[in-house]
């Protein structure tokens, strides 16, 4: 198979030939038709996470090996399968591939919460993903039909859709007119607004450093938009929300955003941290018990949550985010467009 792979961290992706996997057991081989380009791919490509005063976390230390075909927002057509998948799939089935796979036999994996496995083997991170002509799904149960949905949009649900859905569920239930703040109006942010609208939420405050992205957030359904800057962002959020807030989802999650997001919380509020921008959080510790606030991380989502997102979308409840198709062999250019902040919504690689 051909792959557009990371062969050296931070260097241009290379088109290379890799052995086409042969499925065994419950595995299924698919020909990739669509693969989303996600912001977390930038961290995988660079090979490090910024841990602030604690230095860097290197992907190699977590088990990543090169060359690697990234891409975890995957849609493909079934080509072959192992004997245990017989009767569960057929050639030509067009499916979303759940990428957040674990070891397959620990308690959380057996509970279909593989995204929480301590020994995760996620596609596009620890094994080859969608930036290739073929991908190997580790189990037929990870293949999700998406009848009635456009394939490029459906691919985005495998990461941005399920990620924001899982984060939103950590805030719920909240009244529809209780402000929820969404920090970051990129692909994840627009998806968060879309899912909140699908769930009937009305008061959605989008925060970003870009006027262009804030306009896209309003077009997507945000009720309010706040331009972030080095000073005064917390107060502008509070003014837009009508007071300190109960819920913030930080899809950037850098040193600056974590600070103003925490400061915008009212008593009993919750900050859900999703993004991987990096840095560290410094807060006055007495304020955590005094305000009775919760700080919670949220890592992508489960197989069941992805099925919930697809069902919502198939019911016509999730407004589509902007999706721009890019030829598969232009994966490196697409990644650099994302790095340069020149993307509204989502870029999706499309097979030729």
pLDDT of residue 173: 96
pLDDT by residue (tens digit) across 287-330?
Answer: 999 999 999 999 999 999 999 999 999 999 999 999 999 999 99
Q: Which fold has domain 171-297?
A: Rossmann fold (3.40.50)
Residue 32 CA to residue 74 CA, distance in Å, equals 7
Adjacent-strand bridge partners of 271? 248, 295
Residue 142 CA to residue 123 CA, distance in Å, equals 11
pLDDT by residue (tens digit) across 54-75?
Answer: 999 998 888 899 999 999 999 9
Once rounded to an integer, what is the mean pLDDT over residues 154-181?
98
pLDDT of residue 294: 98
Which helix (H) or strand (E) is 217 found in, with range? helix 211-220
pLDDT of residue 70: 98
Once rounded to an integer, what is the mean pLDDT over residues 21-37?
98
Nearest residue to 323 via CA among 3, 38, 13: 38
CB-based contact 131:70 (threshold 8 Å): yes
| The length of the chain, given as a count of residues | 352
Task: Give how far Cα 228 sits from Cα of 55, 61, 184, 202, 340, Å.
Answer: 26, 34, 10, 22, 18
Same fold, 2-159+301-350 and 171-297: no
pLDDT of residue 63: 87
Per-domain boundaries in the chain? 2-159+301-350, 171-297
| Sign, Cα dihedral of 76, 78, 80, 86 | positive
pLDDT of residue 100: 98
Does the pLDDT value for residue 51 go beyond 90? yes
Q: Of 3.90.180.10, 3.90.1150.10, 3.40.50.450, 3.30.565.60, which CATH number belongs to 2-159+301-350?
A: 3.90.180.10
Share of the chain above pLDDT 90, in %: 97
| Pairing status of strand 73-81 against strand 2-5 | unpaired
Whole-model pTM: value is: 0.96
Does the pLDDT value for residue 171 go beyond 90? yes
Helix (H, G, I), strand (E, B) or coil at 31: strand
Per DSSP (E only), the strands in the chain are 2-5, 14-17, 28-37, 48-50, 56-58, 73-81, 94-97, 134-137, 143-145, 180-183, 204-208, 224-227, 245-250, 265-273, 294-297, 323-327, 346-350
pLDDT of residue 301: 98
Half-sphere exposure of 94 toward its Cβ, with a 13 Å CA cutoff? Answer: 11
Once rounded to an integer, what is the mean pLDDT over residues 237-261?
98
pLDDT of residue 352: 85
pLDDT of residue 62: 85
Does the pLDDT value for residue 230 go beyond 90? no
Residue-wise burial string across 204-235, b where 16 or more C-beta atoms lie within 10 A, e elsewhere: bbbbbbbeebbbbbeebbbbbbbebeeeebbe
pLDDT of residue 218: 97
Non-local CB neighbours of 39 within 8 Å, separated by 6+ positions: 186, 187, 188, 275, 276, 338
pLDDT by residue (tens digit) across 95-148?
Answer: 999 999 999 999 999 999 999 999 999 999 999 999 999 999 999 999 999 999
Does the pLDDT value for residue 162 go beyond 90? yes
């Amino acid at each position: 198979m051909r792959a557009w792979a990371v062969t050296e961290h931070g260097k241009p992706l290379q088109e290379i030939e890799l052995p086409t996997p042969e499925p065994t057991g419950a595995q299924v081989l698919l020909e990739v038709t669509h693969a989303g380009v996600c912001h977390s791919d930038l961290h995988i490509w660079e090979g490090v996470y910024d841990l602030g005063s604690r230095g860097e976390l290197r992907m190699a230390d977590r088990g990543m090996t090169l060359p690697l075909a990234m891409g975890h927002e995957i849609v493909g057509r079934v080509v072959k399968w192992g004997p245990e998948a017989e009767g569960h799939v057929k050639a030509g089935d067009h499916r979303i591939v759940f990428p957040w796979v674990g070891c397959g036999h620990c308690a959380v994996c057996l509970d279909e919460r593989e995204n929480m496995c301590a020994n995760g083997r996620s596609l596009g991170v620890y094994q080859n993903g969608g930036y290739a002509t073929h991908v190997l799904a580790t189990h037929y149960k990870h293949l999700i039909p998406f009848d009635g949905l456009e394939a490029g949009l459906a691919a985005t649900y495998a990461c941005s859709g399920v990620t924001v859905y899982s984060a939103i569920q950590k805030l719920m239930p909240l009244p529809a007119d209780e402000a929820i703040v969404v920090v970051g109006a990129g692909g994840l942010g627009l998806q968060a607004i879309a899912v909140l609208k699908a769930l009937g939420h009305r008061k959605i405050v989008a925060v970003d450093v870009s006027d262009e992205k804030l306009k896209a957030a309003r077009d997507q359904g945000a009720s309010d938009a706040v331009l972030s800057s080095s000073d005064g962002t917390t107060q502008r959020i509070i003014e837009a929300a009508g007071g300190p807030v109960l819920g913030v989802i930080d899809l950037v999650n850098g040193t600056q955003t974590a600070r103003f997001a925490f400061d915008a919380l009212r008593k009993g509020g919750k900050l859900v941290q999703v993004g991987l921008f990096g840095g560290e959080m410094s807060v006055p510790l007495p304020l955590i018990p005094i305000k009775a606030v919760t700080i919670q991380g949220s890592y992508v989502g489960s197989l069941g949550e992805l099925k919930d997102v697809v069902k919502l979308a198939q019911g016509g409840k999730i407004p589509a985010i902007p999706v721009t198709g890019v030829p598969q062999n232009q994966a490196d250019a697409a990644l650099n467009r994302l790095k340069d902040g020149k993307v509204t919504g989502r870029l999706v690689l499309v097979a030729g």
